[in-house]
Structure 1
């Protein structure tokens, strides 16, 4: 059981040492992934922050922008098992979770785990599968467990999901329900690289061997689990917690927010703010940590009326809420 967070900030040498080690390793992973994904350091950082906060990431973009390569490079850099599921309209839930198979030798049913049993799962083109199949990820993303025919199987940590999503105007896509969107800590877009970075990308990927195959781990799985274990120890003052709630309530009170952020969204924003503070070498959260990632954490969970774009709407709310 985790201890209750401290009410007053107090310097902690052991915590500070863990934050310093995290920052060094974090920058090493970003640099390693950037060998493959050119010109997208900010996206790499944000995906890593969400993963450090035990969160999942939705990458919404057109095909061919490097989403799959990013997931593979991250898995290789943190020395985690990687599996990919290509979501299609005929995919079934048991194709993801696994199923019980009758063993003729033992005369009994045995559970055959599906591809979801991994450390880093790439759910490729998630919105091409039916809502029934999409829902197979709800339990494992929220609770880290998979239940098949009444038996619950716990995932080996870490379990992280990176999903890719085609724009909804593409043929053969299904809208993700609100419950599914709320499971993702961040929604990000890769976008197109700057021209110079795209030239570098051609130099890298026109080589004989795929460069991602030669990527070596920067940290081991145990190091990454230590990152995640350090996040709850990062101090958030009482005023900081009130700032998070006031931001959420400001959005909820605005008539343009047809689907405002849930309490889970506020919790995810707090955790990613803690991870962001760690990436800056601090063991305490400031309002600037919240402001740096608020739009990426909140916007995809919201429906905003009129011509307002959710990202811009969140930034407008950030400007209105007094900073403690």
Structure 2
């Protein structure tokens, strides 16, 4: 298992070198990948959200599809459709972009709710149903959706059931001025390669790492801490349904994946604390809770650490 671990750290370094100033976002994206979850990347335009996902896809060597979400996008544009061939008298299935190892859903909140819901079954069940026939998606399968949170014009907010399908919400912001200077130097030097990123972590190694995540040790005391954090979020929001059982399971899966990314053989409290805000942030977004970060920070401060 040493080879996959070395490849994982190489991939981590590649993402950090390609998209400067996005170390936290890169780590969280890899965490979602290792935990077999999906990621929602939010932030203003032009800060590298799409570039980060594209670099990850090319580094994995799997099938990568990108879909630009627009108001006129149809569900069949995502999952595919059956077409009648007059010559043979039979229907042929034309697969959509969802039949990939990594699907980049660019500006997902610009599509209609009907189209957004077409992703629900594929994200949760890793399969699609078309004309009464179920088709399995490739394994592994990861959806990385980007969302521009600076402008709401012409957008459709994601419904709560779909937000709950995302393992992590990954915020990206403008990097500091010193980092912006490094970016200018990198692009201005002419040394930035225009070639595609070579495959760093083959799919078979990724599958082995994902399996290892599910076997990573987590103590009962830490599971009680995890439950206490989720209950604290419910108490502070005043809503018992604020964090679902799926959210609790997502926190455990993300903590295990982050521990593996850090090279640990067991989950520690700091791993849970690192992913906690990103697992729950999008699950607490309601009309009453526009900014859940203060609630999550308070929950972390008030919950005793084992």
What band does the TM-score fall into relative to the shorter chain? over 0.9
- Inter-CA distance 210–257: structure 2 relative to 1 (3 Å threshold): farther
1:202 equivalent in structure 2: 184
Provide structure 1 residue ranges, at least 5 long, that are not aligned to the other structure: 1-17
Contact 2:109/2:156, CA 8 A, preserved across alignment: yes
Residue 246 in structure 1 maps to residue 237 in structure 2: no
**3-state DSSP of counterpart to 2:62:** coil
Residue 312 in structure 1 maps to residue 297 in structure 2: no
- Inter-CA distance 172–285: structure 2 relative to 1 (3 Å threshold): same
1:11 equivalent in structure 2: none
2:56 equivalent in structure 1: 74
Residue 121 in structure 1 maps to residue 103 in structure 2: yes
Q: Give the alignment partner of residue 105 of structure 1, picking from 84, 87, 91.
A: 87
1:264 equivalent in structure 2: 246
Residue 300 in structure 1 maps to residue 261 in structure 2: no
Q: After alignment, is 56-65 or 280-289 more displaced?
A: 280-289
Contact 1:69/1:212, CA 8 A, preserved across alignment: no
Q: TM-score under structure 2 normalisation? A: 0.93
Q: TM-score under structure 1 normalisation? A: 0.88
- Inter-CA distance 251–244: structure 2 relative to 1 (3 Å threshold): same
The alpha-carbon deviation at position 207 of structure 1 amounts to 6.9
**3-state DSSP of counterpart to 2:297:** helix
Contact 1:166/1:173, CA 8 A, preserved across alignment: no
1:151 equivalent in structure 2: 133
The alpha-carbon deviation at position 133 of structure 1 amounts to 0.3
1:191 equivalent in structure 2: 173
Residue 279 in structure 1 maps to residue 268 in structure 2: no
For 2:247 and 2:173, how far apart are their aligned partners in 1? 25
1:230 equivalent in structure 2: 212
Q: Aligned residue pairs: how many?
A: 306
**3-state DSSP of counterpart to 1:110:** strand
Contact 1:258/1:302, CA 8 A, preserved across alignment: no
RMSD: 2.1
Provide structure 2 residue ranges, at least 5 long, that are not aligned to the other structure: none
Contact 1:252/1:261, CA 8 A, preserved across alignment: yes
Q: After alignment, is 249-258 or 34-43 more displaced?
A: 249-258
Residue 134 in structure 1 maps to residue 116 in structure 2: yes
The alpha-carbon deviation at position 43 of structure 1 amounts to 1.1
The alpha-carbon deviation at position 261 of structure 1 amounts to 1.2
